[in-house]
Structure 1
């Protein structure tokens, strides 16, 4: 659900029920959004680059849409005006997912991958969703060391969850103490912010491209505001019927589907890596190595970094998201295997490991734990979670037996089990009500949002959507190798042409 490792006072009565118009029952309408004043963008992290054509502005939105006249927050919005006079259709709003990823500079990234017919038709619009990046960034006050285990809580040796229980309780307490307004930072309120952005842009409809968690956000928006949607592309999909614990559980099968792609690369280089001559042998080697590191972590020479089984699995998960990182991943497995055996890794292996563990430069004004804080806000604030600790122990035990690659992590206990407040409103129901205007892009072997989740999104949207599946691995579809999927995407955005029926691309 995300591309990078960085991741409620209960309201009495039924005031938070969602109306089909996208407002809250009993709420007063907010005043019209003020047009955006475009100007200079906020500073970047050291070493980062930005498209010089991009300008930025802000949109004021209610913190709590049930009280539109109350406290407001500022949403950072960006634009690259690529549309050509006479060819312009509208705006294409972009979101990279996460949850918790900033999207302010996504227009510059997409401007270099989209073809001329699409760029001629749309101005590209980015934004940092509420609570993220430069949009009133939130922080639970977590240290960098806490972030990884918070998002990826792997059980201890043999599947023990007691350390995870203690950690989850501590994180929930920190969020309650340091970020009491997190209950307002939900997917539904973010969708309402999108409609305020639409108003501020002065357009009747918006087109939208969402990736990963951004597919759920797009589906929520399209369900709350169906008459304000133009052309919607959802890439690497969340199943909206499984928010959120059920969606995390799909990672088990997703790892089983994707891991062999890397294992085959390792097997082909057995003479150098020595991890196994077949994909099955490599898989067994990896599982045994991770289990061994659970019991005895390995220290990276010259550093204070220790590699546990959980860290190895988390790095593996992240690098499986892209085909270009599969070969470096196999060298990391070799380097960690050598470290675990008390050997010095090769220079190539050590370099790959160092790069994988390197931190990301901080963005000025953005807290270190911003992504993990906002991932928790969405996961814990969109829906209720079980508070029965025993149910998590049982889920971990069952999953570890069937899915040893994931080691029970997807079903392990998280801070959501101890979240101080219930969600402020019911989970938005994604439905088929609305125009037929959604393209669902999904890879067959995606470990983050698996194939079954893409089919789930397609089913939830019904007649509104068409599924374009690609026979490839990784988390992203467009521009990653499937000419068939790329053609379908461009034809839809540029001409409004959806395939007559679901399409499975084999090339």
Structure 2
């Protein structure tokens, strides 16, 4: 696995550029009319044109790797193609990116910040954004609330300041326990299948779909 750390020169620049993704939306090239449901999920990387100069795919992976009978998940992938062919010795392979969160969309981050990636990393990588399972355009969706109104009511007190009063920290802990209880009761198998080990396996599956065994990854948190 090749991991790009922010203690490297180019990593520092990229981390600084991406530290305020909200402000970087001025660079957005996103086309909200693109319909991900029109892409047929496949165990191979079937790329189709999307957005403006990107390629997209939905990669089918096991919902639970140890239990094939649990079903499948479909990982949304966007590729900012390298400007060299895959046969060129200069080609460096796919570089997977995700902005962390947890819960942020790697697809939207790459689409919205493509000029930053190419300026800092060069054009010898396929820059690959993906939505981790349970996030964004990946399916199945993970939802704990029965309606937007219920979600708004639950999160109305946020953000909570732990130093606001003597009871603030207790309210934060209680809310976390309530959310955990909702996940257990309503998330079912999907909630059980959203984990760091599962996403790591998905990342390796994406890399292998490109015909590579070594994973190159840049993550921001």
Q: Which bin holds the TM-score, normalised by the shorter protein? A: 0.5 to 0.7
- Corresponding position of 2:143: 139
Cα distance in 1 between the residues matched to 2:167 and 2:118 = 48
Cα distance in 2 between the residues matched to 1:77 and 1:202 = 16
Cα distance in 2 between the residues matched to 1:138 and 1:115 = 32
- Corresponding position of 1:78: 78
TM-score normalised by the chain length of structure 2: 0.67
Shift of residue 54, structure 1, vs aligned partner: 1.2
The answer to which structure has the higher strand fraction is 2
Shift of residue 84, structure 1, vs aligned partner: 1.2
Distance 1:177 1:150, change over 3 A: farther
Could you tell me whether the CA contact under 8 Å between 2:160 and 2:168 is conserved in 1? Answer: no
Distance 1:106 1:82, change over 3 A: farther
Cα deviation per residue 1:282-311 (whole Å; 9 max; x = unaligned)?
xxxxxxxxxxxxxxxxxxxxxxxxxxxxxx
Distance 1:135 1:150, change over 3 A: farther
Q: 1:173 aligns with which of 157, 166, 181?
A: 181
The within-5 A match list for 1:278-427 is none
For the pair shown, the structure with the greater C-alpha radius of gyration is 1
1:188 aligns with 2:197: yes
Could you tell me whether the CA contact under 8 Å between 1:90 and 1:206 is conserved in 2? Answer: no
- Corresponding position of 1:39: 48
Could you tell me whether the CA contact under 8 Å between 1:155 and 1:164 is conserved in 2? Answer: no
RMSD: 2.9
Could you tell me whether the CA contact under 8 Å between 1:82 and 1:123 is conserved in 2? Answer: yes
Could you tell me whether the CA contact under 8 Å between 2:43 and 2:61 is conserved in 1? Answer: no
Shift of residue 40, structure 1, vs aligned partner: 5.2
Distance 1:153 1:63, change over 3 A: farther
The answer to which structure has the higher helix fraction is 1
For this pair of structures, how many residues does the alignment match?
Answer: 175
- Corresponding position of 1:119: 122
Distance 1:185 1:112, change over 3 A: same
Cα distance in 2 between the residues matched to 1:165 and 1:73 = 31
Structure 2 gap segments, 5+ residues each: 1-18, 23-41
Structure with more contact order per residue of length (Cα contacts < 8 Å, sep ≥ 6): 2
Distance 1:153 1:139, change over 3 A: farther
Could you tell me whether the CA contact under 8 Å between 1:83 and 1:119 is conserved in 2? Answer: no
Structure 1 gap segments, 5+ residues each: 6-32, 42-49, 213-507
